[in-house]
Structure 1
Amino acid sequence: MEYQARYITEDIKLSSYEDKFFKSDIMFDQHMLVWFLSGETKIIQADATYFFGKGDIFLIPRNQLATIINYPKDGQPHKTVVMHLSVERLRDFYASRKIKSMPLKSQKIYSFNNHPLLESCLASLIPYFDMKDIPEDIASIKITEAISILRTLDKEIDHVLANFEEPGKINLVDYMEKNFMFNLPMEKFGYLTGRSLTTFKRDFKKAFSMTPQRWLTQKRLELAYYQLTEKKKKPLDVCYEVGFENLSHFSFAFKKQFGFAPSYLTDKDVSH
C-alpha cells in the first residue's frame, strides 16, 4: 500500500505513506500546518535542511521551494495531519483586523515543537476522519482556531499569513543560482521570478546562453560531484537532494558528464 489520504474537507487531511520513502519537489500554493503522528520527514531548501518526526508541528509558508522526503520509521508509516491555510480563508480572517503587510525578510519553516495548544487543536481533528456526516462548519472553526493559536505563539506570524502579494519580477540569475536543485516545471520557475513561461525562457537564454533544462542538468551534476567528493554522501541521497527523480537517470547523466558512475567516487576515494 503506497499512499492514503482521508479528508474532513479539501483543506484538512490525514496523510499516510507506507512505502520505503516518498520524495517530491514542491512549491506550496498555500500555507501548510503539519502535525506528525509517525514517521520522519527531511525538508531541503536552498539554504537550510530540516528534520521532523513524531510529535513535531511546523508551518510551511506558501510560494517556497522545497525537496521533501518522507520516510516510515520504527515500523510505523509516515502519517501526518495536514491543514491548508488558503489565501482565501486568510483574507476572510484578516478582513476585520488592521494588519500592515510587510515584505518577508526570509523564507523559512516555522517550528512549534510539540506545543500543547496546537497539538490539542490538531488532535481534536482525529475523530472526524472516521465520520461520514461531518458538521459543515467544523473545518472553518478548527482552521480559525489554529490561526489564532499561531498568532499567539509567534507575534511575527501575521507578516507571513497576512501577506497576499504574488511574486514580482526579480533577478533571474540570482534566483536560479540559488534554487536550481528543485525539479519543478518551467512554468513554476517563471511564476516565482515574476515572468510568463515565454518571458522566462527568453530571459534565461539571454542570461545563461543555453536552455533552462541543459543549464539545470549541468548545475545539478556539478553539485552532485561536490556532494559525493567533499561531503562523502551516498549516491542515492545525492540523487534526490540535487534534483533528479531516480537513481538510474542520475547515474546515466552523471556518467555521461564525468565518464564514470557516481558509485565510483564512493567505492574509490577519488577527489580529482
Structure 2
Amino acid sequence: MISPNILYSCYVTRNLSNEQFIPEHIFLYQFSGSLIINDAEKEYSVQTGEFCLARRNRLAKYIKIPPKNGEYKTISVRLDQNFLKDFSREYEFTADIPATKDAVIKIQSQPLLLNYIQSLSPYFNLTTDSKNEQMLLIKTKEAVLLLLKTNPELKNVLFDFSEPGKIDLEAFMNRNFQFNIPMERFGYMSGRSLSTFKRDFKKIFKMAPGGSVASIKIKYKNLGDLKVSQPIYRMI
C-alpha cells in the first residue's frame, strides 16, 4: 500500500476476489499478470501493460492471475466522490453527455500515463503522515488531469455524480443474483430504499427477501414447455 487511495498489489497465486461491489472509480495499471472482471453482462480482461478504469456503483467479480513463475502486480488509484467533487469545483470540469455503460473502460497506454505510473515508485515506502498524505493527494490529482488530457471523454464518467435511478427489479435481480452483497446494496443499486426494495421484491417474487444471511429460491413460471432453473438469492 502507498496510501488508502493509491494501492500497490502483489500476489504469487491465483486470487478470486470477495469484493463484489465497486463503490468508487478505480484507475488501474496492470504491471504483470492478468485481471479478469465479470459484471454478469460482460467479461473484461486486463493484461500486462494495460490501463483501465473500473466504474463506481457496479457489481463485479474478478480473478487475479499471476504470470507463469511470476507475480501478479497492479497499481490502482481510487477516485472517490468527495475528491472528484472537489476536483470538479477546483478545475471546473463537469459531465455534459451520458457516458458509456460499460463497467470497465479500457484506456490506451500512452507515454504520459506510463511516466505517471513510474513516478509513483519513490512513494511505495513512505510512512503515513500529514505531509506525505498531501503529496499523495497531489499525485491523485495528477492522475485525473492526465486521464482528462489523454481521454477527454472520461469527464462524463468521472464527474457524473448522479445516483442510481429506479429500474426494473425483476430483470435486475435475475441478472445479478450471483452477487453476495447486503440487501441494502441491492436496494441502492436498483434505485430503492430498503423498505421499497423489500416491498417490490415481495410483490414480484411472491415472498419476502428474508433477513440476515438467508438463502431464498425465486420461483419462476414455466414458459410453455421450457423449464427455467431456480437461482438462489443470498441476502445479507
The answer as to 2:221 corresponding to 1:214 is no
Find the counterpart in structure 2 of residue 131 from structure 1: 126
- Deviation of the 1:216 alpha carbon: 6.3
Q: 2:25 aligns with which of 13, 31, 48?
A: 31
Q: 2:5 aligns with which of 1, 11, 32?
A: 11
Q: 1:66 aligns with which of 60, 82, 102?
A: 60
Q: 2:82 aligns with which of 74, 82, 88?
A: 88
In structure 1, stretches of 5+ residues that fail to align are 1-5, 225-241, 245-272
Amino acid paired to 1:118: L
Find the counterpart in structure 1 of residue 114 from structure 2: 119
Amino acid paired to 1:57: F
The answer as to 2:80 corresponding to 1:78 is no
Amino acid paired to 1:51: S
Deviates more, 1:110-119 or 1:53-62: 110-119
Tell me the SS of whatever aligns to 1:47: coil
What is the RMSD of the two structures over their aligned residues, measured on CA atoms?
2.7
Find the counterpart in structure 1 of residue 142 from structure 2: 145
Cα distance in 2 for partners of 1:43, 1:243 equals 21
- Deviation of the 1:223 alpha carbon: 8.9
Give the share of equivalent positions with the same residue, in percent.
34
Amino acid paired to 2:31: L
> Compared with structure 1, are the counterparts of its residues 19 and 41 closer, same or farther at alpha carbon in structure 2 (3 Å cutoff)?
same
In structure 2, stretches of 5+ residues that fail to align are 210-214, 221-227
Q: 2:180 aligns with which of 180, 183, 189?
A: 183
Cα distance in 2 for partners of 1:216, 1:15 equals 38
User: How many matched pairs?
Assistant: 219
Q: Which structure is richer in relative contact order (CA contacts within 8 A, separation 6 or more)?
A: 2
Find the counterpart in structure 2 of residue 201 from structure 1: 198
Find the counterpart in structure 1 of residue 104 from structure 2: 109
Cα distance in 1 for partners of 2:99, 2:109 equals 25
> Compared with structure 1, are the counterparts of its residues 243 and 76 closer, same or farther at alpha carbon in structure 2 (3 Å cutoff)?
farther
Deviates more, 1:48-57 or 1:126-135: 126-135
> Compared with structure 1, are the counterparts of its residues 114 and 44 closer, same or farther at alpha carbon in structure 2 (3 Å cutoff)?
same
Q: What TM-score does the superposition give when structure 2 sets the normalisation length?
A: 0.81
Kindly indicate whether the alpha-carbon contact (under 8 Å) linking 1:32 and 1:84 is maintained by their aligned counterparts in 2. Answer: yes
Q: Deviations over 1:185-243 (max 9, x none)?
A: 2221111112233321221111112354424699xx9499xxxxxxxxxxxxxxxxx99
